[in-house]
Amino acid sequence: MSALEPLLDGLVSLEPFSGFYLSVLRLAAVFLMALALSVLIIPEQAKHFLSGYASTLLVNSVEGVLRALVGLSLAGYAHQQGLGAILVLVGVFLVVSALVILLLPGLHKRFARWAIPFALRILPLYGAGAAVLGIGLFMITQR
């Protein structure tokens, strides 16, 4: 973790961004809860939405940028609040995966060809996972 320390300290030193980190994480929690509810209430629309992931360069780019924002916010907020290394590492993983999505959209699209049908087959479990993650984000941002 020591190699990440200077970067994380830089994120923490940006005190004006504390509110930004919190807002991004809460919006991500709302998104995940809305996704979970849509799976439960309107599963066909949820399937349609999920089927759109990585479908175009624009969608891919938006997904990558949003993932990077959530990852940076999670890493910065977790480090700032002393929430533990695992949450910092999850944030770093989101940032690194966002860079892959943004820099290698073809690879992401190929992965989506496998991942989307799999997610649709286990849609209720996918929705439950989104709910758990959304509740978890709400919980860590209530400190």
pLDDT in tens, 31-76: 999 999 999 999 999 999 999 888 899 999 999 999 999 999 999 9
Cβ(74)–Cβ(94) under 8 Å? Answer: yes
Per the prediction, the chain carries an average pLDDT of 90
Locate 10 and state its tokens. Answer: 């830089």
Type of residue found at 101: I
Res 5: pLDDT: 66
Token look-up 């504390």 returns: 18
What is the C-alpha to C-alpha distance for residues 25 and 27, in angstroms, rounded to an integer?
5
Half-sphere exposure of 7 (CA within 13 A, CB side): 12
pLDDT in tens, 78-110: 988 888 889 999 999 999 999 999 999 999 999
Token look-up 């989307």 returns: 116
pTM of the model: 0.85
Token look-up 């309107």 returns: 42
Locate 114 and state its tokens. Answer: 């496998």
DSSP-assigned states of every residue in 26-63: HHHHHHHHHHHHHHHH-HHHHHHHHHTTTSSHHHHHHH
Locate 4 and state its tokens. Answer: 């990440």
